[in-house]
Structure 1
Amino acid sequence: MLDLILFSEKRKDFLLLLIEGPKDIEEILEKLQVPRTALLPQIKKLKEEGLVIHEEGIYRLSAIGEIVVEKMQPLIRTLSVFEKNEEFWADRKLAPIPHHLVNRINEIGNYRLIEPDLSHTFDLNPEFVKNLSNSTYVHMFYSYFHPQLPDLVLNLARKGVEMSLVLSEAVYSRLMKNFKEIGNEFLKMKNSSLYIMEKIELEVPALIAISNDIMTIGLFNENGRFDRQYVISFEPQAIIWGQEFFEYYRDMSREII
């Protein structure tokens, strides 16, 4: 049954369409955009397996079909996350993502992968900066140091953006050593909070950034380097998922007062 469902895009899409409710063949063909002659043999197989019922011109899921499709949806969404950029995920360290969030990684949804921009080799990604700049709040964790990040977070705070920043111990030390004035000004602002993650032997992500309408994460590759590739998603579920990811590290950090 698993092979029947997953090894055919037409069968899979047909079943996912019927989870919305019963439909006639014309509506099905219009929504799936497939020829009748290509779809009908696939439907026949699903009927023979007892997953689909056809009565009076209407197709619907059987009781078994409803259970199977409901259970398969998270698996399909999880596979689609990894299959969309297989090489990227194969080369990422996933250990920094806590187990309960790895199990829900399908919630990232229809994300995009932002690649390094050769015209801004030494700059923060312009799209990343633009998305944060249009927000009313930003919750950010980062464990790699970029010399433009201190100015970015301070400018956001100056604009009135509610800022919550969690830094690894190494990044915090460098901030207060080389950008002390920025760090001190940031700490004095009422709309900002700063946390430090101290001496915890734990693999961490390179970056998590959550704002009103966007979730962005950066993960180190298997060689321990951050190659400035970001996963970015605008879906509401992804923002909730990312917020939990951020809070996981914030809750094990100490607030600087």
Structure 2
Amino acid sequence: MERMICAGRDSLIVRPMTGVPPLEIYDAYHDEIQAIFRSRLLTQVLIALGSGSRSLPALRDATGSSSQALIPKIRQLEALQYVEQVRGDYVLTPIGRLVEPEIERLVTLMGVLGRHREFWVEHELDSIPPESLGELRHLYNAMVIRDVEEDIYAVHAMFAEIIRKASWVHGVSSIMSPVQANLIEQVIIENKPVELVVSPEIAGKLAKEPYRATLESLKEYSRAVIYVSPAPFRLGMAVTESCLSLGLYRRDTGTYDTASDLVSSDPAAVAWGERVFRHYRAIASPLSIPPDK
């Protein structure tokens, strides 16, 4: 079976290249696949060794299990040639180092979906670039902010706080309101760098009032640039040096969900948001407002 391997822990891709259906591959190797995922300890040992060699006592601490329970599982992993012993410690073999990152990615993805299942199930995900969808694990520490009866402006208040505290703002948006525009305007007036990628529909709205006059008044601020995506998209996202705010469209109504945002100050989530921004920025062009007729 031919395989494609891209070096690097975070970019490792091991994918069948022969066109063999995954279900057929599963049928052929289901015993080995099930051996790993059926056993909590097998999975835990592999993930623990993903960060480096460990002694048996260290594996006991990492898994919360006794030597009596661990040793048979380690022997099973040795028989599968995923784990070996080097100078008394246990380490991943070369093929173990191929398998472990894929297991870790799946585990963390399931964690992200499990923590905020309602958010991911309720919303459209199509406008998140495929490569970023494959990295949702970086959003594990995010929290969902929702408008509730006791605080009907929770989402707006959080977004406003993020924008006001920012030293710079990168945004991707297919929505715009005078309130949002005012928040961004204040950041621009403070001469902080602002880059915003908007959808073609929003670009058309910005050429009209009440936004046109605001854009005209901000021309002198060279650190603010608005770009237009060549194709429609459906999301609203802001990234700053310390925070990510992500809003999506509801699947049931097809409208932007103003009542819930995914927010994170985790550096991994901020870096994830920056990659989404760079994806859209790379294909966008500077906004050009036609002269008044």
By the TM > 0.5 criterion, same fold? yes
Deviations 1:20-50 (A, max 9, x none): 2221222223334445565455444434433
Partner of 2:91: 60
What is the deviation of 1:237? Answer: 4.1
State the aligned residue count.
254
| Counterpart among 215, 222, 229 of residue 183 in structure 1 | 215
Instruction: Spell out, residue by residue over 1:28-81, the C-alpha distance to the aligned partner (whole angstroms, 9 max, x if none).
Output: 233344455654554444344332335775322234322321343333333333
One-letter amino acid of the structure 1 residue matched with residue 248 of structure 2: L
Aligned to 2:193: 162
Residues of 2 paired with 1:131 and 1:49: CA distance?
Answer: 49
Q: CA deviation at 1:115?
A: 2.5
Please report how far the alpha carbon of residue 105 of structure 1 lies from its aligned counterpart in structure 2 after TM superposition. Answer: 3.5
1:182–1:161: structure 2 CA closer, same or farther, 3 Å change rule?
A: same
Q: Counterparts of 1:208 and 1:167 in 2: how far apart (Å)?
A: 10
Does the CA-based 8 Å contact 2:191-2:221 persist in structure 1?
Answer: no
Q: Please, what TM-score do these two structures have when normalized by structure 2?
A: 0.72
Tell whether the 8 Å contact from 1:136 to 1:160 is kept in structure 2 after alignment.
no
**8 Å Cα contact 2:54/2:91 also seen in 1:** yes
Residue type of the partner of 1:214? C
The counterpart of 1:79, out of the listed 88, 110, 122, is 110
Alpha-carbon distance, 1:154 to partner: 0.9
Query: Match for 2:234: what amino acid?
Result: P
How big is the shift at 1:149?
Answer: 0.3
Which amino acid counterpart does residue 21 of structure 1 have in structure 2?
G
Which residue is equivalent to 1:20?
A: 51
Unaligned runs of 5+ in 2: 1-31
Displacement of 1:117 in angstroms is: 4.5
Shift of 1:177: 1.6
Partner Cα distance (1:122, 1:55) in 2: 58
Change (3 A) 1:36 1:205: farther
Shift of 1:94: 1.8
Deviation of residue 212 (structure 1)? Answer: 0.8
Structure number with the bigger relative contact order (C-alpha 8 A, sep ≥ 6) is: 1
Distance 1:48 1:209, change over 3 A: same
8 Å CA contact 2:145, 2:154 repeated in 1: no
Whole-angstrom CA distance in 2 between matches of 1:33 and 1:132 = 43
CA contact (8 A) 1:197 1:254 kept: no
Question: Which residue identity does 2:198 align to in structure 1?
Answer: L
Aligned to 1:129: 160
Asked whether the 8 Å contact 2:143–2:262 carries over to 1, the reply is yes
The SS at the match of 1:177 is coil
Question: What is the CA distance between 1:96 and its match in structure 2?
Answer: 1.0
Specify which of 195, 198, 202 is matched with residue 227 of structure 2: 195
CA RMSD, aligned part only? 3.0
Distance 1:4 1:113, change over 3 A: farther
1:208 is aligned to 237
CA distance in 2, matches of 1:96, 1:76: 24
1:145 aligns with 2:164: no
Residues 30 and 7 (structure 1), Cα distance of their counterparts in 2 relative to 1, 3 Å cut: same
The structure 2 residue matched to 1:110, chosen from 141, 153, 173, is: 141
Residue in 2 that maps onto 1:226: 256
Identity percentage over the alignment? 21
Secondary structure, counterpart of 1:217 in structure 2: strand
The separation in 2 between residues aligned to 1:37 and 1:129, in whole angstroms, is 55
